[in-house]
Amino acid sequence: MPCGPKPASSRGSPFHSLAGANPLESLGIAMAMLGGLVAAPVFCFAVVRLVKPCPVLSIPAFWFSLALVSLFLVEILLVWTRGAIGARALVGPPFFLVHAFLTLLLAPALACVLLLGQRSLARWWFVAAIVCWFAGVGAIFYQYGVAEALYGVDGLGGPYHAPF
């Protein structure tokens, strides 16, 4: 058994290369990215035109979205400081479900924060859509990194068994 510090990839860092991903996985990532190119501007436009004029909807949506984005930032700090495996060990089995939930909702929550607040970017909703698209794409790769650190590339090779 080798001695010395473990390489970063074995500590569960989600920031490793996706080299060697299977072609079907790459197709899924590409489709998600292309779908986001349409979904982000449509969502941002709808938020500005339909939700922002109605304070009964916009105020709770803003605060709920701000909470989601804040929780996502806390999770990133936790994974950055402890690694995905350390974060999972600290939080326990609900970690991956919460992580997946926050990752999937990051782009729409960020859109709501940018477009619904007192000092919003509603006039520049298209800029907000671009920012949200980049955040969503980054979240996709972050999700893959955390999942592979916890469960391995095939769902069987990591320190935990995949819940899916």
Burial of 50 (0-12, 13-18, 19+ CB in 10 A): exposed
User: What is the predicted pLDDT for the residue at 1?
Assistant: 42
- Residue 4 belongs to some domain of the structure: no
- Residue 156 belongs to some domain of the structure: no
Longest dimension (CA), the chain: 64
User: Which residues form the domain of 64?
Assistant: 39-151
Span 135-143, mean pLDDT?
93
Return the closest-CA partner of residue 107 out of 126, 130, 84, 124: 130
- Residue 141 belongs to some domain of the structure: yes
Which two three-digit tokens encode residue 134?
A: 């980049």
- At residue 29, does pLDDT exceed 50? yes
User: What is the predicted pLDDT for the residue at 28?
Assistant: 82
Residue 82, Cβ neighbours under 10 Å: how many?
A: 16
- Residue 138 belongs to some domain of the structure: yes
- At residue 32, does pLDDT exceed 80? yes
- At residue 8, does pLDDT exceed 50? no
- Residue 107 belongs to some domain of the structure: yes
- Residue 91 belongs to some domain of the structure: yes
pLDDT band at 3 (very low <50, low <70, confident <90, very high): very low
List, in sequence order, every beta strand (DSSP E) within the chain.
Answer: none
State pTM to two decimals: 0.81
- Residue 110 belongs to some domain of the structure: yes
pLDDT, tens digit, 9 for 90 and up, residues 72-118: 999 999 999 999 999 999 999 999 999 999 999 999 999 999 999 88
**Count, residues in the chain:** 164
pLDDT, tens digit, 9 for 90 and up, residues 44-81: 999 999 999 999 999 999 999 999 999 999 999 999 99
**SS3 state at 140:** helix
- Residue 24 belongs to some domain of the structure: no
Domains contained in the chain, number: 1
User: What is the predicted pLDDT for the residue at 24?
Assistant: 78
